Structure 1
Amino acid sequence: MDKGVNPVVEELLHRHSPKFYGMKEVYRCIHQENFITKAELLKRTNMKQTTVVRHLDALKEYGLIRIASYDESSGGRPPALYAIEPEAAFIIGIALSRVETTITIVNMSFQPVASETFQMTEKHTPSHTISLLKETIASLLEEHHIDINALLGIGIGTVGPLDRKKGIMYPEGFVAPGWHKVAIVEEMKKTFQTDIFLENGANTAALYESLRNHGGNKTILYCISGWGLRCGVLANGAIMQSRKGDASSFGEMIIDVSSGRTLASYISYHQIATEVVRMIKASERKTDFYPDLNDNKNEIMEYVLEELKKGNSVIENVVLESAYYYGIGLANMVNILHPEVVVLNSELIHVYPAYYHKVIHTAEAFIFQNHQQEPLFQQAEDAENPISVGACALTFQSKIG
């Protein structure tokens, strides 16, 4: 039997009348805390007891919340612990990048129900990619017996620049042609009659970290480095949106005034690959490093990652120099944004932990009054796709806000 959406979910999260606002606030508190008592709800909402009880009864009747268990009692009847009903609805999150695209379906607790990833190649034009997205989503819904009407919405975390309101992408750097002025939201709505939200992937990844850290109103800086640098920022729990929807602007920070070189130009894979080739060509022992030099930066970076695993000191020096400049740029971001949590996501970090430690050590040396700020530095988790799950969180927040 297919899992269908409770029609009250859509009504509750979409309407803004006083009647639904109070119920929505109670639901929001239960969702944030996972398990919460009526007494705690009274403190959190500042509502009268009769009002909270009325909302709780209605939410239970509609099948949106449940009594998960009972808390320890200090005497008398133990207080009920309220929790949301996870399968009241489902949310789809899409992480669309130049390298790969991931579709994730979560329940109302943001627990992944299904996920699938496909690689982006020279064949993945916008039309082909969107068709594949639609086919994959339909297949996942069928496989997991989820009615299409059970979808609360779809969130898309992708590469900017983009126009959030119009749902249009203007990205650069895709291997396939045609990735300019892509009306992805309009195209997806032709198949899925639900709300669709478009945001930069670095920002949706920051939302994911807010979930993982139970961030609430924390300020979080999330940095994705590789062929470029993209940074997402949550300021007191809300996405700090740039007007152009471009998360790569942090990479344009000037690091060397004399040459005008930017942070991205020091730390991108393009720069690392170029420097590795230069050092190899200058070496008298070329065959010990890379016998078939060419201009394919992807192949060079594959070689770099493999050599890092082997402990190639020449490659390590190049990568650690890049990490030094990354640390300087990161310190500048921390000095301006004052984040409580800083998350770094990079393939280099997973392959070569010394890279991460060099970045953090350098950043801490340049952070102004570091003893007062003391941001929590973290590596991105590798278990789930933070961009697609974060896109689900974006959808939920957009509907409940």
Structure 2
Amino acid sequence: MEKRSTHIPSPKKLLYDRIAEQGTVSKSDLLQTFSLTKSTMTRILDEMTEEGLLIECGFGESSGGRRPILYQINPSYGYIIGLEISRLYSSLGLFDMQMNPKSIVHWRMDQAFTPERFMDHVSSQIRAFLRDHQLVDSQIIGIGIGAVGPLDRENGLILKPLHFPSSGWNNLPICKLVEERTGFKALLDNGANSALLGERWSIRHASIQHMLYVHAGAGLRYAMMSHGSIVHGTMDTEDAIGQMIIQTDGPRLNNDGNYGALEAFVSVQALEQSARSEAKNDNDLILQRYKVSPEKLTYDVLVQAFRDGNPHARELFTQAAIHFGIGLANVINLLHPETIILGGALIHSHELFFQTAVEVAQRNTYRYPEYQPHFTLGTLKEEAVVTGAAIMVRNQMVL
């Protein structure tokens, strides 16, 4: 079972998080939020300014007396690195304390990206970031990792990731490896949780408290937020949505998991298997048009055919979107979030996939249309995971 932290944030950390969330805040704003005396508040703000955590950024509107000083967190107090480890693409980003991206790189994962080569690449990119921005190691607060699960977050392990292109990733002590190669403290969470943290940060001023993030790509992943906090279970359940049964006695993906599970209908591998199976039994127009054999009928070929208007490809993606919408409705009916963010390769394959999935989910959502959540592709998209991973590090800073 996951250990629960008993650390109670200090008043300084609570103030820092509040100011980071709000952007710019006056002392009177903070006094209305926290049960601190005016003298204590003044002392703490002065200390944080002297330490470089905060900077004064002008004056607010006067309510009759002197205009109040406005505070914001100091963006250059330190820098945080966010790392995404995923099946198809991975990313690395350098952020200041206000989560402004200074540099972000993405790369395609393939069979050559064993953990050793992956760490070589990450270490090299980090050193390039530091050189490009003239930073030294002491300015780096830490590295946040958003990785494909399942994970042991407490011990920093990637356990048994499914459908990974290369070997060597099972029971991998990723935090230890990152710390040994870079010298920076590393924290781990799954990619869906990280993406949700990042996307929520991008719309923080909307004060949304209940959110759902679902990623449909090489696998299905999801994360939930309630009252502004990520919902964690006793186990890492990022991929649990893929095992939701939507058809009794239905197929299994790669002879693994539940029969009739959502991932058997909605995933890159499910689409490839369906297309290859049908192509072998028919004079397939996709094979003729793109001059490939059934074994070479990859997801990239299917996406291109879909975008080119091929009716067979359109039907494949439409059926996947319908199944996805059913699974999405089941999750929505449990949480009833205000905002639902959809991401991943399938979601971005074509606007029709997103539209179909949303329409099906709405039709099967309890109390719709009285209850109408907002569906969105998000604002950060492919940069959501690295941003959220960096936010995780800042959230766990001890002040």
Tell whether the structures are fold-level matches, with TM greater than 0.5. yes
Over 3 Å counting, the alpha-carbon distance change for 1:371 and 1:49 in structure 2 is farther
Counterpart selection for 2:193 from 192, 203, 207: 203
Deviation (angstroms), 1:396: 1.2
Q: Tell me the equivalent position of 1:363.
A: 361
Q: Secondary structure at the match of 1:371?
A: coil
Distance across 1 between alignment mates of 2:176 and 2:292: 46
Percent identity among equivalent residues?
27
Distance across 2 between alignment mates of 1:319 and 1:217: 31
Q: Secondary structure at the match of 2:25?
A: coil
Counterpart selection for 1:153 from 142, 145, 157: 142
Distance across 2 between alignment mates of 1:273 and 1:191: 37
Q: Tell me the equivalent position of 1:294.
A: 294
Q: Tell me the equivalent position of 2:89.
A: 100
Q: Does 1:228 align with 2:219?
A: yes
CA-to-aligned-CA distance 1:213-270 (integer Å, 9 cap, x gap) = 2066712211111121011222222222243424111110000124341111111122
- Structure 1 gaps of 5+ residues are 1-15
Deviation (angstroms), 1:293: 2.3
Larger helix fraction of residues: 1
Distance across 2 between alignment mates of 1:140 and 1:307: 38
Q: Tell me the equivalent position of 1:218.
A: 209
Counterpart selection for 1:33 from 1, 22, 37: 22
Distance across 2 between alignment mates of 1:201 and 1:302: 23
Contact 2:268 2:346 in 1 (8 A): no
Contact 2:202 2:379 in 1 (8 A): no
Q: Does 1:240 align with 2:242?
A: no
Over 3 Å counting, the alpha-carbon distance change for 1:283 and 1:187 in structure 2 is closer
Q: Tell me the equivalent position of 1:341.
A: 339
Q: Secondary structure at the match of 2:10?
A: helix
TM-score if structure 1 supplies the norm length?
0.89
Over 3 Å counting, the alpha-carbon distance change for 1:349 and 1:104 in structure 2 is same
Distance across 1 between alignment mates of 2:150 and 2:209: 25
Deviation (angstroms), 1:81: 1.8
Deviation (angstroms), 1:100: 2.4
Contact 2:267 2:346 in 1 (8 A): no
Deviation (angstroms), 1:292: 2.6
TM-score if structure 2 supplies the norm length?
0.89
Contact 2:17 2:395 in 1 (8 A): no
CA-to-aligned-CA distance 1:145-167 (integer Å, 9 cap, x gap) = 11111111111001111111111
Q: Secondary structure at the match of 2:166?
A: coil
CA-to-aligned-CA distance 1:346-378 (integer Å, 9 cap, x gap) = 233334101101101100111111234322111
Over 3 Å counting, the alpha-carbon distance change for 1:28 and 1:206 in structure 2 is same
Contact 1:159 1:246 in 2 (8 A): no
User: Mean Cα displacement is larger for which, 25-34 or 274-283?
Assistant: 274-283
Q: Secondary structure at the match of 1:124?
A: coil
Distance across 1 between alignment mates of 2:379 and 2:277: 33
Q: Does 1:332 align with 2:321?
A: no
Q: Secondary structure at the match of 1:63?
A: coil
- Structure 2 gaps of 5+ residues are 1-6, 251-258
Over 3 Å counting, the alpha-carbon distance change for 1:284 and 1:167 in structure 2 is closer
Q: Tell me the equivalent position of 1:125.
A: 114
Counterpart selection for 1:91 from 80, 92, 96: 80
RMSD: 2.3
Q: Does 1:303 align with 2:307?
A: no
Distance across 1 between alignment mates of 2:109 and 2:283: 38
Q: Does 1:273 align with 2:264?
A: no
CA-to-aligned-CA distance 1:181-234 (integer Å, 9 cap, x gap) = 111111222244443111110110010111012066712211111121011222
Q: Secondary structure at the match of 2:142?
A: strand
| Amino acid paired to 1:232 | A
Contact 1:204 1:390 in 2 (8 A): yes
Distance across 1 between alignment mates of 2:338 and 2:240: 21
| Amino acid paired to 2:177 | E
